[in-house]
Structure 1
């Protein structure tokens, strides 16, 4: 039993070395063998440690008549070789399987390590898309919440919106608080800004000088294109002509690949 496992490991190391040679190029055979041996040993140790059942108990062997014809023997050897090749390839594929990046890594990469972000509320963070709707209620979009909280972990985030009355402001702040936006420590109520005109939002952004501004109003995006390093235009359809520093996405979460 131990000899079979040893032979199997040796074969896997050999096949792994051949794989590395083919992928990397002509390397010293001893170096390739060392790399292959280390990689396979690490993988086997990991698989053994995560196995819930541990080493399996040896099962009794039952002898069965084996035909002595050469055709059957050749067929068995072919199946055995195919099985070994398949197992070796499975180990190699599992070892080289790409690691999926975390949401935090995606956010940092997409924002090009920007440290300050300004973002409109209506239609981006909130379900509501009009000022009249905001007078009745404010609802944080559940699909955007995880992205929003991830941004606050490493960015100085400011949320802003035009409102028609003080009641709308209260509804927005309450909705953000109920969603847990203020509990992460990265965003405080003082960084949620309100104004009475669209020009007021433009003025906020100009004064804050963020690395990124996120907005659904194409006019504001166009006006700020000369002053802000990057912008994300939230729009159901991609505009035909946009400056090189303006990106477009149907939603904030789709921009980060969350949908």
Structure 2
């Protein structure tokens, strides 16, 4: 038997194109028929040209809309159970050595600090890297002195002596390497301020170049400290006073509340730790 010639396979795109052209031709014939039934004379050739232009405009518009349509999103493949287990184990190990009693409700902040907990396992990274990530690349920090940097916790104690915590010195030096750091405190007299400056100098905090006496601010009231922070507009403020933390929560991007006991968070952007060193993983 003679072999039959194979018919060329018509692609879907060619078929759709032919159907579209046929639709336009039928539309033009329909318009031409309407022109013949009009009660006045119509130039058939001119009418056909105008109709063709109108049909072409509609076709261009439809094509443009189709090209602008976003491609369908691919569904995310679920994580393998082994990967989820590994991440969970990394978080639990990191929380035992690096995290404090910190709180965060917004998803962006939670992801940022979870990333730190997952990556910075004990002994894996330097203090400089941990400080940078903990501060979320913040470039300006304001910090209270009493109870955070100094052993003393009241202005009355500063009238007698001022002592810098030995464990906090290393953290402060790392912060000053990439942050503009300002220290502030309420004092009862000028002599108290002089004692604080001398203690900071003796601890070697003025020798790194990132901190100097001009960035140590004193005031006579707690509201004065709030005013300092509002004017400086830091990325982070560190304080022990819950009232100040609460008042600044809507103005400052992040805050760290230093408290010896676990407390309820004042706002989603407020974290807490028992001490500054604990927040950066210096103390377990």
TM-score, L = length of structure 2? 0.56
Q: 1:147 aligns with which of 167, 171, 186?
A: 171
1:161 has 2:185 as partner? yes
Q: Partner residue of 2:261?
A: 237
User: Is this contact kept in 1: 2:255–2:269, CA < 8 A?
Assistant: yes
Runs of 4 or more, structure 1, over 4 Å off, are: none
Superposed CA offset, 1:182-232 (max 9, x none): 000000110000000000000000000000000000000000000000000
* Alignment partners' CA distance in 2, 1:200 and 1:241: 23
* Aligned 8 A contact 2:239 2:256 in 1: yes
- My pick for the range that moved more, 214-223 or 241-250, is 241-250
- 2:236 pairs with 1:216: no
Please give the alpha-carbon distance, in whole angstroms, between the structure 1 residues aligned to 2:269 and 2:216.
Answer: 25
Segments of structure 2 that go 5 or more residues without pairing to the other structure are 1-81, 84-120
Q: Give the alignment of 1:178-189 within 5 angstroms.
A: 178-189=202-213
Give CA deviations for 1:213-254 in whole Å, capped at 9, x if unaligned: 000000000000000000000001121243110000000000
Partner of 2:226: 202
Aligned residue runs from structure 1 range 9-88, under 5 A: none
Larger radius of gyration: 2
Separation of aligned partners in 1, 2:153 and 2:127: 26
CA distance in structure 1 between the aligned counterparts of 2:145 and 2:126, rounded to whole angstroms: 25
RMSD: 1.7
Shift of 1:98: 9.1
Q: Judge conservation of contact 2:155–2:187 (CA < 8 Å) in 1.
A: yes
CA contact (8 A) 2:176 2:211 kept: yes
